[in-house]
């Protein structure tokens, strides 16, 4: 589905999320409002317990709100069935997690192939897409290696390729540098910036680290389930020097 340039990719209106345990009701999101346009690189940041992970889970169709509206590509998704959520999750979004979530005794190629296994396309098209995704993260030379033979930074780059291979509308990166040393973290941020700035991918980064968030072009700060601020990054960081990919 194509959307007009005036339609936000993501729009949330008075979004709420409450959890009920017996007679105790806990509000995690309290009337959140914002929009994200196609092609933006947005960081959602805040301390532990602020609601940022819950917000990402709703935006990524892993959970549903208990109030308000979530519009994706102009479609109100707030009352989708589990099957419809799964369809949106499989076709519209790609995920990059802190823990990589790769199959350990499986090759890089097969790990990246996983999201395409149940899609209707020829084997040649699958292989072509996988090779292109792996090339985009600078891991051509590791394509036949098993994931447990890779460094942490290389594993995260495989996870980025896996998120890309379905050609999603948006990529969610949940603390993508959390398990990496500073050099590997810069490599990952360089890839994300290149995917956004050179290829136009929409990226939503969830992090509690200010320096990592400063690589985005806009930061939404969350605290106690509310939007504390939503601002353009003034002194944006660019992961270039010292972030060369190992060939």
53-101 pLDDT per residue, tens = 999 999 999 999 999 999 999 999 977 888 988 889 988 999 999 999 9
Nearest to 140 by CA among 108, 100, 105: 108
pLDDT at 3: 58
Q: How far is CA 161 from CA 97, 126, 136, 172, 209, in A?
A: 12, 13, 7, 13, 23
| Angle, helices 182-197/152-164, rounded to nearest 10 degrees | 20
d(CA 131, CA 109): 8
Contacts of residue 232, Cβ cutoff 8 Å, sequence gap at least 6? 217, 218
d(CA 8, CA 35): 6
Say which residue the tokens 């994931």 belong to: 147
123-141 pLDDT per residue, tens = 999 999 999 999 999 999 9
The model scores a pTM over 0.85: yes
> And the tokens for 132?
């292109």
2-60 pLDDT per residue, tens = 555 678 999 999 999 999 988 899 999 999 999 999 999 999 999 989 999 999 999 99
């Amino acid at each position: 589905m194509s959307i007009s340039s005036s339609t936000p990719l993501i729009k949330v209106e008075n979004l709420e999320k409450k959890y009920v345990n017996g007679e105790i009701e806990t509000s995690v999101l309290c009337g959140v409002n914002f929009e994200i346009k196609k092609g933006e690189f947005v960081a959602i940041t805040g301390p532990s317990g602020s609601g940022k992970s819950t917000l990402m889970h709703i935006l990524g169709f892993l959970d549903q709100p208990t109030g308000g509206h979530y519009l994706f590509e102009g479609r109100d998704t707030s009352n989708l069935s589990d099957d419809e959520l799964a369809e949106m999750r499989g076709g519209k979004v790609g995920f990059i997690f802190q823990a990589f979530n790769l199959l350990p005794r499986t090759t890089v190629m097969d790990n990246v192939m996983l999201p395409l296994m149940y899609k209707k396309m020829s084997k040649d098209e699958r292989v072509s897409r996988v090779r292109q995704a792996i090339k985009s993260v600078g891991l051509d030379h590791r394509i036949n290696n098993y994931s447990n033979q890779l460094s942490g930074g290389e594993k995260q780059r495989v996870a980025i390729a896996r998120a890309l291979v379905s050609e999603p509308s948006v990529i969610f990166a949940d603390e993508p540098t959390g398990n990496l040393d500073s050099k590997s973290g810069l490599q990952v941020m360089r890839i994300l910036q290149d995917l956004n700035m050179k290829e136009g991918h929409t990226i939503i980064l969830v992090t509690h680290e200010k320096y990592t968030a400063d690589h985005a072009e806009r930061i939404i700060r969350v605290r106690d389930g509310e939007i504390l601020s939503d601002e353009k990054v003034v002194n944006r960081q660019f992961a270039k020097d010292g972030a060369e990919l190992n060939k």
